[in-house]
Amino acid sequence: MEKFNEFILSEEQKQKANIAKQIMRQLLDIKGALVCQEKIVSIISSLKKKYSDAENYYLYHILIGSSVHDKCLYYDFPDGDSILKKIQDELEAALLELEKTEQQKRPFV
C-alpha cells in the first residue's frame, strides 16, 4: 500500500488525482448528479465496510468531494478496491451504455 504525504505528491499521484476528477466530471455529464451520487455512496459504503480507516485515503476524499485532511496516510486503496479503478470502470460502463442508446436512436439505412 502506497504511503501518502499530501505535501509531497509525486507527479504520478498528481496525475491520478486529476484523472479521477476528470472521470467524475465525465460521469456527471453522462449520468447526471443523482446517479453519480448513488454510485459514489455505493463505492464509499463498500469501502467503509471493508476498511475501518477509509478516511485515511486521499482519493476517498477526492471521490466524496471533501477537503483532504492532513491525516491521510495512504493515497488509494489496494488493487481491486482502487477508487481510480472503480470510477474508470464506471465511466467505461456509462460510455458503453451511452453508445448503445445512441445506436438505438439511429434510423436504419
Q: What is the pLDDT along the chain (109 residues), one digit of tens a residue?
A: 555 555 567 888 888 888 888 988 888 888 888 888 898 999 999 999 999 999 999 899 988 888 776 778 888 999 899 999 999 998 888 888 888 887 777 766 5
Question: How many domains, the chain?
Answer: 1
Say if 5 falls within a structural domain: no
Residue 55 lies inside a defined structural domain of this protein: yes
Is residue 3 in some structural domain? no
Indicate whether 37 belongs to any domain: yes
Structural domain of 37:
11-105
- The answer to the question of residue 1 being in a domain is no
For residue 70, give the DSSP letter: T
Q: Write out the DSSP string of 51-80.
A: -TTGGGBHHHHHHHTPPPPTT--BSS--GG
In a domain, 50, yes or no: yes
> Helix, strand or coil for residue 67?
coil
Report the DSSP beta bridge partners of residue 57. Answer: 74
Residue 2 lies in a domain: no
